[in-house]
């Protein structure tokens, strides 16, 4: 029997100072159900966050308690049992209750309450605290949705605290219950199964992102004006994806480094090495996606610049053609203005105009018009206005 069970078996188990600090004053010590007249811990709040709790012995489920209090009590009655407790966005009192029962470190409990943690692996005594970032690809909006999962893995318990929709731990639980020979290996086997599920969840995300990148490349060369926004949004998602996958490589190598020290089963060692290979492959793909998106953004900027230059050149050519037309119109207007001016002057019919009584007046006026028009035509022609 473990040291934790030995303490719990006594009627009034002694708690350490930090454990008493974690226990809320309103929550009484965990004990068998008291008579109706005595106050009990508020169980409705527990039922809302406890997704599923189960006790296992030799890889087989032996109990399915509804509340945390029932789980604690039944675990004490199973000397060789293991508790697997699944929580979704638990309350502070629930985590404090778990911390008091399983000697969880206050820093790990604080991280599980606050969420928004980076993926990490920390060991507090004989308890592992693991933070994972799960991901799933949403087909309709074509985007990646990220969830956060916290795990406490002890000698005889596994506690999962989920923040977000991913991953689907019920499927992991069913898979493990269908393979009791793996589940009887204990909490480390559950940790492996959850790691494997999170990493397998990256596969459809990688496929979806690859499809998005292929579509973006087509849109870039098609000249879609909205493609720049899509590239930027996908690049941000890849930054988050990279933050979720890259730390996993180091975490799994740290687990593998402790195989000999903690006596990990050889079969689990093989499974975890396989998960580590998948994580490394996924991390490399994500790094490639970021580089590809950076290159696509550069190509798109180049194509946009070329398109803008072509449009500016087209506008300049159109302006030049307009200027040429305006030159021609202006030149012909000036040529036609000269005879109009002469004809207008002689068309005033003043009595004291000397040329009106001159016999060469008419030929002189017509000749003047012709000379002025020809002179203007020659001048404009030499300047390439006509």
What are 97-122's pLDDT values in tens digits? 899 999 899 999 998 888 788 899 99
- Distance, in Å, from the CA atom of 110 to the CA atom of 302, rounded to the nearest integer, reads 48
Pair 55, 63: CB distance under 8 Å: yes
Residues 325-352, mean pLDDT to the nearest whole number: 80
Which residue shows structure tokens 């207007």? 333
Q: Which residues contact 86 (CB under 8 A, 6 or more apart)?
A: 50, 51, 52, 53, 160, 162, 169, 173
- Distance, in Å, from the CA atom of 63 to the CA atom of 66, rounded to the nearest integer, reads 10
Lowest mean pLDDT among 26-30, 130-134, 356-360, 374-378: 26-30
- Taking CA atoms, 25 is separated from 20, 42, 93, in Å, by 9, 13, 10
Taken in order 333, 339, 344, 345, is the CA torsion positive or negative?
A: positive
Helix (H, G, I), strand (E, B) or coil at 370: helix
- Distance, in Å, from the CA atom of 166 to the CA atom of 186, rounded to the nearest integer, reads 24
Taken in order 254, 255, 257, 261, is the CA torsion positive or negative?
A: positive
Reply yes or no on whether the pLDDT at 88 is more than 60: yes
Pair 15, 23: CB distance under 8 Å: yes
283-315 tens-digit pLDDT: 999 999 999 999 998 888 888 888 888 888 888
Confidence of residue 169 (pLDDT cuts 50, 70, 90): confident
Average predicted confidence (pLDDT) for the chain: 81
Q: Which residues contact 289 (CB under 8 A, 6 or more apart)?
A: 209, 210, 213, 238, 241
Pair 31, 97: CB distance under 8 Å: no
Pair 34, 73: CB distance under 8 Å: no
Pair 4, 76: CB distance under 8 Å: no
- Taking CA atoms, 121 is separated from 57, 100, 132, 279, in Å, by 27, 21, 9, 15
Helix (H, G, I), strand (E, B) or coil at 379: helix
Pair 256, 276: CB distance under 8 Å: yes
Structure tokens at 386: 């006509």
Residues 333-338, mean pLDDT to the nearest whole number: 82
Confidence at residue 83, expressed as pLDDT on a 0 to 100 scale: 92
Confidence at residue 326, expressed as pLDDT on a 0 to 100 scale: 86
Reply yes or no on whether the pLDDT at 220 is more than 50: yes
| Cα of 204 vs its chain's centroid, Å | 14
Taken in order 12, 13, 16, 21, is the CA torsion positive or negative?
A: negative
Helices 169-178 and 187-222, interaxial angle, to 10°? 130
- R_g over Cα of the chain: 42
Reply yes or no on whether the pLDDT at 3 is more than 60: no
Confidence of residue 37 (pLDDT cuts 50, 70, 90): very low
Reply yes or no on whether the pLDDT at 324 is more than 90: no
- Distance, in Å, from the CA atom of 163 to the CA atom of 131, rounded to the nearest integer, reads 11
- Distance, in Å, from the CA atom of 246 to the CA atom of 75, rounded to the nearest integer, reads 36
82-88 and 157-163 beta bridge pairing: parallel
Residues 47-54, mean pLDDT to the nearest whole number: 71
- Distance, in Å, from the CA atom of 44 to the CA atom of 269, rounded to the nearest integer, reads 40
Kindly report the pTM of this predicted structure. Answer: 0.68
Confidence at residue 32, expressed as pLDDT on a 0 to 100 scale: 44
Is residue 248 packed enough to be buried (19+ CB in 10 Å), middle (13-18) or exposed (0-12)?
buried
**C-alpha angle with apex 141: 136 to 146, nearest 5 degrees?**
30
137-164 tens-digit pLDDT: 888 888 888 989 999 999 899 999 988 7
Residue 357: DSSP 8-state: G
116-126 tens-digit pLDDT: 888 999 999 88
Structure tokens at 129: 């605290």
């Amino acid at each position: 029997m473990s040291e934790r069970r030995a303490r719990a078996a006594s009627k009034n188990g002694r708690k350490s100072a930090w454990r008493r600090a974690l226990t809320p004053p309103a929550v009484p010590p965990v004990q068998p159900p008291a008579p109706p007249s005595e106050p009990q811990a508020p169980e409705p709040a527990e039922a809302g966050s406890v997704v599923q709790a189960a006790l296992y012995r030799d890889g087989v489920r032996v109990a399915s308690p509804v509340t945390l209090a029932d789980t604690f009590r039944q675990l004490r009655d199973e000397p060789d049992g293991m508790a697997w407790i699944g929580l979704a966005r638990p309350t502070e009192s629930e985590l404090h209750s778990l911390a008091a029962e399983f000697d969880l470190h206050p820093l790990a409990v604080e991280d599980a309450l606050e969420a928004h943690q980076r993926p990490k692996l920390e060991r507090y005594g004989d308890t592992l605290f693991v933070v994972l970032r799960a991901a799933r690809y949403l087909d309709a909006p074509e985007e990646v949705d990220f969830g956060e999962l916290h795990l406490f893995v002890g000698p005889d318990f596994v506690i999962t605290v989920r923040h977000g929709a991913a991953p689907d731990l019920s499927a992991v639980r069913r898979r493990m219950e269908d393979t009791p020979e793996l589940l009887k290996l204990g909490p480390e086997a559950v940790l492996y199964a959850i790691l494997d599920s999170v990493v397998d969840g990256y596969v459809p995300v990688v496929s979806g992102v690859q499809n998005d990148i292929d579509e973006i490349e087509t849109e870039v060369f098609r000249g879609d004006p909205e493609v720049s926004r899509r590239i930027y949004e996908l690049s941000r998602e890849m930054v988050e994806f990279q933050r979720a996958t890259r730390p996993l490589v180091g975490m799994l190598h740290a687990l593998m480094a402790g195989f000999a020290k903690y006596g990990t089963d050889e079969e689990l060692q093989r499974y975890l090495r396989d998960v580590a290979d998948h994580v490394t492959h996924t991390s490399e793909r994500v790094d490639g996606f970021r580089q590809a998106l950076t290159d696509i953004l550069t190509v798109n900027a180049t194509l946009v610049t070329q398109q803008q230059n072509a449009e500016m050149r087209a506008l300049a050519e159109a302006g030049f053609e307009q200027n040429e037309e305006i030159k021609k119109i202006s030149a012909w207007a000036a040529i036609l203005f000269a005879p109009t001016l002469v004809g207008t002057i002689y068309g005033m019919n003043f009595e004291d105009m000397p040329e009106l009584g001159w016999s060469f007046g008419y030929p002189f006026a017509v000749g003047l018009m012709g000379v002025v028009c020809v002179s203007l035509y020659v001048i404009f022609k030499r300047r390439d206005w006509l």
